[in-house]
Structure 1
Amino acid sequence: MSHATHANAALTPRARLRLARLVVEHGWPPARAAERYDVSWRTAKKWAERYRYEGPAGMLDRSSAPHHQPNLTPAPVVRKIVHLRWKQRLGPVQIADRLNMASSTVHAVLVRCRINRLAHIDRATGEPIRRYEHDKPGDLIHVDVKKLGKIPDGGGWRYLGKQQGDKNRSTTAKRTGGPKNKHRQPLIGTCYLHTVIDDHSRVAYVEAHDDETSQTAVAVLKNAVAWFAARGVTVQRVISDNGSCYKSHLWRETCADLGITPKKTRPYRPQTNGKIERFHRTLAEGWAFKKFYNSESARLAALPGWVHQYNHHRPHSAIGKAAPITRLNNLAGHHN
């Protein structure tokens, strides 16, 4: 079996072994073996000595790092750098300022510890992210509810400013009969986006509703399972947070009827459902708040088109910049 060797090596590990055996086992002089393999006698002697004391394992390349590195950052300082990076998410310049050292040294330590990219560190725990992915579409789907304030007629405060936004909100509340909250602000309601993400493909299914009751959650699950089935995908498991609609008897009974195993995220660890949390950010940035909508109905009318764009055309960085739909089984021939 051959092994990778460094670019400038005169011999491969296999050739080193043959050379060394000629000297150690067959009694060849190092100079004669060196001539046979077109290397210096010092090289032949080196590999023979390694073989004599270490056996075949000694034929592999060793690290070129020096045995003693007097300028290497001391372990206690490395621990301080790592702690500040994980727990306070500071950059090399800020860490260097606190520890009174060069930022280039801090950066070198972060690279060596593989925490130089904040995107690779869990926001809540500071631990390196351990990404997982189920093998096939349908092995696991994530479900959750994203809440958005409804847009008043004429548009909301994000684009019109607080004064005009509040005026539009009040006018819409009168038209729809919306109540006032304890601060006497008119309420026009909340849009509950019931979202479903396939763990393997990242394909999304979304429905907008006026509540997050167990009846609504169950109806969305049934619709999503049928939607995936029409695309050749059989749902095996579903994971949700501990919201009341997902803790109900109705949810468990429906999962049993559908032949799906219900699972729950760990309490206070929303990153367990991280794929759907990330989708919600993309949904908000790419659809909900991306442009001006003059009414809630106008925003909802744009939702199906955005979801289609996300599934069929938007490159997804976590799956090699492919569109999510390309990862589904093409059993039904829906996405050639």
Structure 2
Amino acid sequence: MNSHKHARLTARGRALLVSRVLQEGWKVALASEAAGVSERTGYKWLARFKSEGPAGLLDRTSRPRRSPASCAPEQVRQFERCRRERVPLWRIACEAGRSLATVARHMARLGLSRLSSLQPREPVHRYERASPGELLHIDTKRLGRIQGIGHRITGERQHRNRGIGWDAVHLAIDDHSRVSFASIKPDGAGLSCTEFLRDALAYYASLGVRIERVMTDNGSGYVSKAFRSACLELGVRHIRTRPYTPKTNGKAERFVQTSLREWAYARPYESSAQRHAALQPFIDHYNWLRPHSALHHQPPMTRIPGMNNLLRLNT
């Protein structure tokens, strides 16, 4: 039953009204008044019960019984054939003598409102490098600096952190092992990206991993001369993603979201320095202890040969 919130009678109330009239001998006017409806409404439900039985007391659809101006099924199929040939909706409407709203409504029901819906979805290509260091994904995320707990937590709109600038969180994750590295820089310019690249390669070298390639998006810091020169100096091949295709660098994008959820927005920080201090403990936990779904729920360090042996000894 789907009675609206202002309905005077539900199916049970209608049945009670009919029962009082037919079985208890109440007059229709008295039974209708007791139910809070007009006498005319009482006669209506009584007539429906006599003609249809208990089913007549249920709610009916508000859809009209006849719709002479509605589109015939064959015409809707013609709309669909034209749309699949990439004919614009307005042209289909003009040729059929129908309004654009009518054609658009039928195409929306078929999921053909947008021409992009006619294109087959690209298959998902999942890949993983064979060994650590073959490919390092790098990305940057800007976070507003913090000066006291914000209004979203305190509820006090008078306190807002405006005009205090941004921090750039640089993140790196190894394609095979998912071992990550992160650092906070003042910006995402070429010099900051270059400094982060050097720090990241030094960190992975301390784990016995040599980075061969790095993948980034087409941000200004990554297309700068400083970053390109650093890649040549360090003997690292730089791969850039296809424009407007962030899924190419999907592992970095996913790690950014994980970092925001489990570190940046995990708790209310009172200052940027406090948030900064919590970054390295998060990275250590991610690398050494946190189960990773893509690694059969094992920590990333289990895929670094020397570190895996250390984990086993500690266990």
1:243 aligns with 2:243: no
Aligned counterparts of 2:153 and 2:175: Cα–Cα separation in 1: 35
TM-score by length of 1: 0.56
**One-letter code of the match for 1:132?**
Y
Q: Provide the identity percentage.
A: 41
Aligned counterparts of 1:316 and 1:326: Cα–Cα separation in 2: 10
Correspondences of 1:10-89 after superposition (within 5 Å): none
Shift of 1:300: 1.1
* Equivalent residue number for residue 193 of structure 1: 169
**Which of the two has higher C-alpha Rg?**
2
Aligned counterparts of 2:153 and 2:137: Cα–Cα separation in 1: 32
Aligned counterparts of 2:307 and 2:153: Cα–Cα separation in 1: 45
Give secondary structure in 2 for the equivalent of 1:245. Answer: coil
* Equivalent residue number for residue 16 of structure 2: none
Give secondary structure in 1 for the equivalent of 2:221. Answer: helix
Give secondary structure in 2 for the equivalent of 1:139. Answer: coil
User: How big is the alpha-carbon RMSD for the aligned residues of Structure 1 and Structure 2?
Assistant: 2.6
User: Which one of the candidate residues 276, 281, 287 is aligned to 1:300?
Assistant: 276
C-alpha change, 1:228 and 1:304, in structure 2 (3 Å) is same
Q: Is the 8 A contact 2:186 2:192 kept in 1?
A: no
Shift of 1:209: 1.2
C-alpha change, 1:145 and 1:162, in structure 2 (3 Å) is farther
1:146 aligns with 2:122: no
Correspondences of 1:169-248 after superposition (within 5 Å): 169=161, 186-248=162-224
Aligned counterparts of 1:305 and 1:196: Cα–Cα separation in 2: 16
Q: For this pair of structures, how many residues does the alignment match?
A: 201
**One-letter code of the match for 2:154?**
L
Aligned counterparts of 2:165 and 2:140: Cα–Cα separation in 1: 15
Give secondary structure in 2 for the equivalent of 1:163. Answer: coil
C-alpha change, 1:325 and 1:164, in structure 2 (3 Å) is farther
Q: Is the 8 A contact 1:141 1:197 kept in 2?
A: yes
Aligned counterparts of 2:216 and 2:291: Cα–Cα separation in 1: 26
User: Which one of the candidate residues 137, 153, 159 is aligned to 2:153?
Assistant: 159
User: Which one of the candidate residues 269, 273, 296 is aligned to 1:320?
Assistant: 296
User: Which one of the candidate residues 117, 120, 126 is aligned to 1:131?
Assistant: 126
**One-letter code of the match for 2:303?**
R
Output one character per residue of 1:196-240: Cα deviation in whole Å (capped at 9) or x when no partner.
Answer: 110001111000011112111111111111110110101000011
* Equivalent residue number for residue 259 of structure 1: 235
Give secondary structure in 1 for the equivalent of 2:199. Answer: helix
Q: Is the 8 A contact 2:301 2:307 kept in 1?
A: no
Q: Is the 8 A contact 1:145 1:194 kept in 2?
A: yes
Structure 2 runs not aligned, ≥5 long: 1-76, 85-107, 111-119
Output one character per residue of 1:238-286: Cα deviation in whole Å (capped at 9) or x when no partner.
Answer: 0110111111122111111111111100100001000010011111110
Aligned counterparts of 1:334 and 1:234: Cα–Cα separation in 2: 19
* Equivalent residue number for residue 246 of structure 2: 270
Structure 1 runs not aligned, ≥5 long: 1-75, 84-96, 100-124, 170-185
